[in-house]
Amino acid sequence: MSEQGTSSHALARLVALTRKETRQLLRDPSSLAIGILLPILLILLFGYGLSLDVKNAPLALVMEDSSPTATQAVAGLSLTPYISPVPLVSMQEAEALLRAHKVDGIVRVPGDFSSRLAEGNARIQIVVNGADANKANTILRYAGAALGSNPQRLADRAGAAGQGLPNANGIGSVSVEPRLWFNSANNSTWYLVPGLVVLIMTLVGAFLTALVMAREWERGTLEALFVTPVRPGEILVAKIIPYFGIGMAGLALCLVAARFLFNVPMVGSLFLLVFASMLYLIVAVGIGLVISSVTRNQFLASQVALLSSFLPAMLLSGFLFDLRNVPWVVYVVGHILPATYFMELIRALFLAGNIWPLVIKNCLILMAYAVGLLCVARAVTQKRLD
């Protein structure tokens, strides 16, 4: 048989296998639920239900000095959406509310505030519940900025210009103009929604592929294919194509939600984002194929896929926190995961733009993972019965 005839027969087998796998996927409600419904639920849950922002934090406001100057000094607390002041008359009452977790902190204006302001050493006390360190630091920043919104004007009126309360940045009379790059809205949703693409790609590529492939090992479907002229490589490609399509549908859902539900900007190239997502989806599918071929058991494959792909992608890839702030062991483990590089890449494309050194480096790393995992999957998928 000529080489051209062999190629045509291989292509015909691949088309037939792909058609079979697509029909099988469309007839399986559980696969469609994991591939379509679960990504939609994740988008809504993480987009609307998860936020790292602090808004309307209740702070007890104890005014021991009721002078107009003291009142003006804390007026900024009522003008920020991040803090909701709760006026009280005594520190005892404020401390009781803080212990009961009804307020997140206390702002205390001492009785000698006005006289000390004239002398240039006025102070305002801020007490914050530090059980959640991140939230406490955020509240301290917001409260400090709100209280420092007009101190220089107050000090000028008191005849102690430049010697009273520090300005919003604690630098005397120097004016500092802060700017936020890449997230001008200071909204954690802009930070979290791009990461959803990584989680959904991992869920569809690794978890769903491992589960469905292991089920076919259990039912003997693959053994039935092994007695035909179909080659292992053709089987793997036919398995990849339908789940690749489901993964790209999940990507489309994320992009639509990011643009029209959460107003996340797309600064970088959409073509680069889709290309990088395709690379990572091949990586995720490769992980699922390897897991299913090694385990050949649905329950075991689902547990291994969950523990080795989805959970690490959520916890160790930088989705929720910066890996530079974790112990070095966790940092090293996080940078072994392909999800870490895709997470960094997709956030840069969404919020920062086409940063070419980062794009090229992370795409090459994802390509290396894709080639390596597909080679391993081909090696462990043999036409033999163990």
Ranges of residues in the chain with a pLDDT under 50 are 1-2, 160-176
Task: Break the chain into its structural domains and give their ranges.
Answer: 3-50+187-380, 57-157
CA distance linking residue 139 with residue 128, whole number of Å: 8
Structure tokens that stand for 315 in this block:
């916890």
* pLDDT given for residue 163 in this prediction: 41
* pLDDT given for residue 224 in this prediction: 74
Pick the closest to residue 73 from 34, 38, 103, 116 (CA basis): 116
CA distance linking residue 217 with residue 202, whole number of Å: 22
CATH number given to 57-157: 3.40.1710.10
Q: What count of other Cβ atoms lies within 10 Å of the Cβ of residue 129?
A: 16
Contact 207, 33 (CB under 8 A): no
* pLDDT given for residue 22 in this prediction: 86
* pLDDT given for residue 157 in this prediction: 54
Pick the closest to residue 42 from 199, 190, 189, 273 (CA basis): 199
What are the Cα distances from residue 354, in Å, to 180, 350, 360? 18, 9, 10
* pLDDT given for residue 5 in this prediction: 52
* pLDDT given for residue 167 in this prediction: 45
> Could you tell me the pTM of the whole model?
0.80
DSSP tag of 299: H
CA distance linking residue 288 with residue 273, whole number of Å: 22
Q: Cβ neighbours of residue 15 under 8 Å, at least 6 residues apart? A: none
Our CA angle for 156, 157, 159, nearest 5°, is 65
DSSP tag of 58: E
Q: How far apart are the first and last CA of the chain?
A: 32
Q: How many CA atoms lie within 13 A of 259 on its CB side?
A: 8
Contact 45, 189 (CB under 8 A): no
* pLDDT given for residue 174 in this prediction: 45
